Structure 1
Amino acid sequence: MSTMTEEQTAGAMADTPVGRPPGNRRELMAKLLWIGVWLVFLSSPIEDLINGDHTTRATVAGTLGLMAFVGVYLSLVFRNMGRPFSGRTVVVLIVFLGVLAPVLAYTLGSAWLGLFVYLSVACGATLPVRAAYWAIPASGALMYAVGVHSNEKEARGLLLLTLLIGFAMIGVGQLVRTTVELRKARATVAQLAANEERLRLARDLHDLLGHSLSLITLKSELAGRMLPDHPDKAAQQVADIEQVSRQAMVDVREAVTGYRRPRLAAELAGTQVALTAAGVVAETPAEPDLTDVPEEAESVLAWALREAVTNVVRHSGADRCVVQILRRQTLDGPVLELSVEDNGSGGSGKGPGNGLTGLTERLEKAGGTLEAGRVKHGFRLVARVPAAASADVGSGA
């Protein structure tokens, strides 16, 4: 598959789910919560350091070792928040954890066997699948070999947990990679559908206007030749030209009206293409859930997205743009909110142009609102439309 080829070229280790950078504050909090839950296994080593019968030197060494272990572990799972580690660096850090965990567990006791759970998670989350398949059992075997000398019963209990969590991380990675590929495929399908619709319109316009324009050209030439000697016949030709042009206008209007209302999914696909072509790093959401959203509201939101992206490409000078589509509950009912934020200059700053003025009117007709203005590091446009059709006024009488 072409997607996998690109990932392999970039490095298979750079495409793991835990290492993905959060796209917004909500994703960051979810990531912190996900990683924080697993830190529960540190309770035993910490309690052992506080209440264990260790010498001062052993306690200090254990504290430093635990801090080093946790620091390396967190740097692995967060590695893509900054510049990604190379595959060699990941392997070196995994080996470091694989050495430090048995040293601490062997010297300080069975309370430290929980570190092998983190070793297993790091292997499943950061190593390629084939490497993880043997690294996780090796972690479990190493844990059991160390634990059998101090507390074999506890080592047996942790062995299954270590293996299950490690292989579960492999499954999560595969699931996330599959989801990403499906989203890319969905965006591609939407883009192809939009392109197909454009081609259909082009064919319709060609068929509609080709004959009419040819006829208008012919009759114009005839009228020009008849005008000096036969003004009455020339007038007839001009009348025919008027009739043909009016019919052509009607045909084009009907073709364009029947062509489509702009669809949000198609506009999202086009947004990614347009911003990328303009050299703007784009963050766009997956296809939104448009359940109960009126067609007119979706259409207006699609127009808002097109206008915002056009402004980003033409006027902002931005190199990064984030598009979000969220459902929110307000005092007036549920709304669908579109947010487009860039890190550019925001244009000339001479007030709203014709595009934003017309967009405001469109949104007001659909019962929505528009907010646009400069923010701390760029420009943001927020458009909101009702997420559910308005109830019939007379239904409650």
Structure 2
Amino acid sequence: MTDDHLCEEARREPLIPLGQAPRNRRELWRRKALWIGVWLVFLSSPVHDLISGDHTTGGTIAGWLGLAVFVALYLSLLFRDMGERPYPSRLVGALIGSMAVLATVLGLALGSDWLGLYCYVSVACGMVLPLRWAFWTIPATGVMLLLVGLRTDEDEALNLLILVLLIGFAMTGVSQLVRTTVELRKARATVAQLAANEERLRLARDLHDLLGHSLSLITLKSELAGRMLPDHPDKAAQQVADIEQVSRQALVDVREAVTGYRRPRLAAELAGAQVALTAAGIVARIPAEPDLDGVPEGTESALAWALREAITNVVRHSGAARCTVDLVRRQTLDGPALELSVEDDGSGGTGKGPGNGLTGLTERLEKAGGTLEAGRVKRGFRLTARVPVGPVADVGSRS
């Protein structure tokens, strides 16, 4: 597990990532074409009917034109509905109505081979219309199919009726799933924005609390020193000394605050590891609630950095299918210790030695009095970070 080639991750990435938003317009159109193109299989019967030569020249030309218009209406309706700017409700109703009229006219004029067009009408109703409209337009499409079938081929119409109803109502479920997924993505983006706003507010409050009093005191003492300087230089010098002391203390407070902001938390890193591994298609087993009672902040920070580095290596370089994270307290010869282990079933990278990430991590753990072990095991790769914690009484069981 070393810090090098990212091409392994690119090779493992699917052409169309499932459950993820499209990354560019090309991928969006590819998804649309794949999803909508599946249903074009029902065009085989009308096309075969036109090619067979059973109709007059005028009927064949009219059939090709009608089929082209029907497919254009269908594709336009579904492509726009899956995009960012769907058609208005009235236009959607007009397009579906036009599809139904064309399906009826072509079915009555050219025969039972054209009854499959009602499948497209049903799909459009299920995908585009709201539920309250889809629940009656889909059965209405089935009724139209039966009525046309009475004039052409009743058996064929009965066979298609179940399919028309099934795919129509199935598409209502798919449509609701798509809408729910879009709403969830928007909700997640909103939550992230609110979290960022809250963090900015917290930072503003902390800066106000840290610097407000100090800067106000510096301003007052500066004004006082300026008034004292002509007549009482010794007192002005004392005020300047106070200003220097306050400034130095303010600088120390700011540095401590910034260090706290930059310090990672183990609970947050565990949650982030779950998200990163899942997004990479790796089955993860991670403890939900770490037991950190009595663990100093520096120790927790060192383990959090170790977890971040380990998960980064698993995702980028290992090619693993599974990853297990364990956090346990152990009683060692040197006293109680908190041990973090990350084990995967991957290749462990190129095997050219530790990278800069693991080297820096080893140095960070050594500063906290801990150790790092990393190497191949029987079925993969394991990284173990161990840091000392509080007294023996704080030692608990496995998280």
Given the two structures, how large is their TM-score scaled by the length of structure 2? 0.58
Instruction: After TM superposition, give the deviation of residue 36 of structure 1 in Å.
Output: 0.9
Instruction: After TM superposition, give the deviation of residue 48 of structure 1 in Å.
Output: 1.6
Instruction: After TM superposition, give the deviation of residue 260 of structure 1 in Å.
Output: 5.1
Instruction: After TM superposition, give the deviation of residue 90 of structure 1 in Å.
Output: 2.4
SS at 2:54's partner residue?
Answer: coil
Which residue in the other structure is 2:56 paired with?
A: 55
When the two chains are superposed, the root-mean-square deviation of aligned CA atoms in Å is 3.8
Contact 1:22/1:28 (8 A) holds in 2: no
Answer 1 or 2: higher relative contact order, Cα 8 Å, separation at least 6.
Answer: 2
Corresponding residue to 1:118 among 113, 117, 120: 120
Residues of 1 paired with 2:100 and 2:176: CA distance?
24
Change (3 A) 1:120 1:206: same
Change (3 A) 1:223 1:65: closer
Which residue in the other structure is 1:245 paired with?
A: 247
Which residue in the other structure is 2:209 paired with?
A: 207
Equivalent runs, 1:69-218 vs 2, <5 Å = 69-79=70-80, 84-218=86-220
Q: Deviations over 1:181-227 (max 9, x none)?
A: 22222222222222222222222222222221232233334433443
Contact 1:201/1:255 (8 A) holds in 2: no
Identity %: 66
The one-letter code matched in structure 2 to 1:54 is H
Change (3 A) 1:84 1:213: closer
Which residue in the other structure is 1:26 paired with?
A: 27
Instruction: After TM superposition, give the deviation of residue 139 of structure 1 in Å.
Output: 0.5
SS at 1:78's partner residue?
Answer: helix
Change (3 A) 1:159 1:240: same
Q: Deviations over 1:14-57 (max 9, x none)?
A: xxxxxxx9951011011011111100000111112222633333
Instruction: After TM superposition, give the deviation of residue 107 of structure 1 in Å.
Output: 2.7
SS at 1:54's partner residue?
Answer: coil
Count of residues in correspondence between the two structures? 270
Equivalent runs, 1:371-386 vs 2, <5 Å = none
SS at 2:55's partner residue?
Answer: coil
Change (3 A) 1:295 1:58: farther
Residues of 2 paired with 1:104 and 1:295: CA distance?
67
Structure whose CA Rg is larger: 2
Change (3 A) 1:140 1:260: farther
SS at 2:74's partner residue?
Answer: helix
Instruction: After TM superposition, give the deviation of residue 230 of structure 1 in Å.
Output: 4.1
Residues of 2 paired with 1:142 and 1:389: CA distance?
70
Which residue in the other structure is 2:348 paired with?
A: none
Which residue in the other structure is 2:269 paired with?
A: none
Change (3 A) 1:174 1:295: farther
Unpaired runs of at least 5, structure 1: 1-20, 263-287, 300-328, 335-387
Which residue in the other structure is 1:44 paired with?
A: 45
Change (3 A) 1:88 1:225: closer
